């Protein structure tokens, strides 16, 4: 995912009681909503609602709403980033089958015993647009979460790398994985493999797994059924078990249409649970922080999670050792490299 640009929100403050001017002063709570800018009509889309500057001693409950018949369901526990003074939660938006823009609103309810409830709202400055080919069969959140975990059933965390890499960048990534005895999963495009002869074979030789990421990183939600199948057929054959397809940009990954088309090629869809956003130039320290704590753009790493990185990320190779260290410091397992002579996977 190279340009999964997020919608950053404008903020409004609503109180459950009358407030003085101090309530709007610097340091008052505010809410953000982060989401992809587009996905298919009828698709399920994960968004993140975040509150900043929670008052000391207050508990926070996060929820959301959307315009135009789109529905928002928040799931799972919140996560706290002490560096950003934020609390966040994952929610899912079910887009209607009607193409068009849908505005998202995040809601934080702040409570403390003996005090009035504070309600803070933040409305997205940019809408989430439903466009492309519709997916008329609704996806359940349970199925979406299986796709985000790439159908993994164990507690091990998967390290995944998308799109492609320079020769030097890939060499650094492989050296770190080798030094730590950790297996990586590489979703590189066929066009990258054609431009870098021999490197695709090197991944298998080193004991890593490869998945299908299409031929040239096409947006599958805007591709006809025939075009989607052509992109899959001309992508790199998956060596994973089960065989996996990761849709570029994550677009349509949580849609029944792509589930059906991938199934016709004996593939399951794979998204991710933690996104480093390494493609946008963030420092190695920020990438490591995002994996450790999560933030307004991504949940933190958890058992059985799938971490999204990119082989071409400016600071991915430099951050990788720190990311591995964070995972292990939290008592989580990583997928081990197979022993010499054992097949990968």
Residue-wise pLDDT for 99-136, tens only, equals: 999 999 999 999 999 999 999 999 988 999 999 999 99
Q: What per-residue confidence (pLDDT) applies to 8?
A: 36
Instruction: Name the CATH code of domain 141-329 (choices 3.90.1010.10, 3.30.930.10, 1.10.510.10, 3.20.20.370).
Output: 3.20.20.370
pLDDT digits (tens, 9 = 90+) for 244-265: 999 999 999 999 999 999 999 9
List, by residue range, all CATH 2.60.40.10 domains of the chain. Answer: 9-130
Mean pLDDT within 152-161: 97
pLDDT digits (tens, 9 = 90+) for 175-196: 999 999 999 999 999 999 999 9
| Closest residue by Cα to residue 38 from 81, 3, 11, 71 | 3
What is the DSSP annotation of 157-212? BEEEEEE---HHHHHHHHHHHHHHTB-EEEEE-HHHHHHSTTHHHHHHHTT-EE-B
CA atoms of 63 and 50, how far apart (whole Å): 10
pLDDT band at 344 (very low <50, low <70, confident <90, very high): confident
| Closest residue by Cα to residue 51 from 299, 301, 295, 300 | 295
Q: What per-residue confidence (pLDDT) applies to 343?
A: 65
List, by residue range, all CATH 3.20.20.370 domains of the chain. Answer: 141-329
Nearest 5°: the CA angle 318, 342, 274 is 35
CA atoms of 218 and 230, how far apart (whole Å): 11
Q: Mean pLDDT of all residues in the chain?
A: 92
Q: What per-residue confidence (pLDDT) applies to 12?
A: 39
Instruction: Name the CATH code of domain 9-130 (choices 3.40.50.2300, 2.60.40.10, 2.40.50.100, 2.40.50.140).
Output: 2.60.40.10
pLDDT digits (tens, 9 = 90+) for 200-239: 999 999 999 999 999 999 999 999 999 999 999 999 999 9
Write down the residue that tokens 């001017």 correspond to: 21
Task: Indicate the helix (H) or strand (E) that contains 257.
Answer: helix 256-263
pLDDT digits (tens, 9 = 90+) for 47-101: 999 999 999 999 999 999 999 999 999 999 999 999 999 999 999 999 999 999 9
Write down the residue that tokens 């096409």 correspond to: 218
Q: 290, 276 in Cβ contact below 8 A?
A: yes
């Amino acid at each position: 995912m190279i340009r999964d640009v997020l919608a950053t929100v404008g903020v409004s403050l609503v109180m459950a009681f009358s407030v003085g001017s101090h309530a709007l002063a610097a340091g008052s709570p505010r809410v953000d909503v982060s989401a992809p800018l587009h996905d298919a009509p009828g698709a399920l889309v994960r968004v993140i609602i975040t509150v900043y500057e929670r008052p000391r001693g207050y508990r926070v409950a996060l929820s959301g709403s959307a315009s135009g018949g789109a529905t928002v369901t928040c799931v799972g526990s919140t996560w706290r980033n002490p560096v950003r003074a934020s609390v966040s939660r994952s929610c899912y938006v079910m887009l209607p089958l009607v193409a068009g823009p849908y505005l998202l609103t995040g809601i934080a309810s702040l409570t403390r015993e003996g005090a009035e409830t504070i309600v803070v709202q933040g409305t997205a400055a940019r809408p989430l647009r439903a466009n492309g080919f519709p997916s008329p069969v609704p996806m359940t959140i349970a199925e979406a979460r299986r796709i985000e975990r790439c159908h993994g059933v164990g507690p091990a965390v998967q390290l995944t790398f998308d799109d492609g890499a320079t020769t030097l960048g890939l060499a650094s990534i492989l050296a770190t994985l080798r030094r730590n005895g950790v297996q990586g999963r590489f979703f590189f495009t066929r066009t990258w493999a054609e431009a870098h002869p021999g490197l695709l074979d090197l991944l298998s030789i080193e004991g890593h797994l490869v998945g299908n990421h299409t031929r040239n990183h096409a947006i599958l939600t805007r591709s006809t059924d025939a075009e989607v199948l052509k992109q899959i057929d001309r992508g790199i054959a998956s060596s994973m078990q089960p065989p996996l397809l990761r849709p570029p940009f994550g677009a349509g990954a949580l849609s029944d249409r792509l589930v059906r088309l991938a199934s016709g090629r004996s593939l399951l869809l794979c998204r991710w649970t933690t996104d480093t956003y390494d493609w946008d130039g963030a420092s190695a320290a920020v990438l490591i922080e995002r994996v450790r704590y999560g933030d307004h753009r991504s949940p933190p790493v958890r058992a059985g999670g799938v971490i999204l990185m990119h082989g071409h990320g400016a600071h991915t190779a430099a951050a990788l050792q720190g990311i591995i260290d964070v995972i292990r410091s939290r008592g989580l397992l990583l997928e081990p490299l197979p022993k010499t002579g054992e097949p990968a996977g």
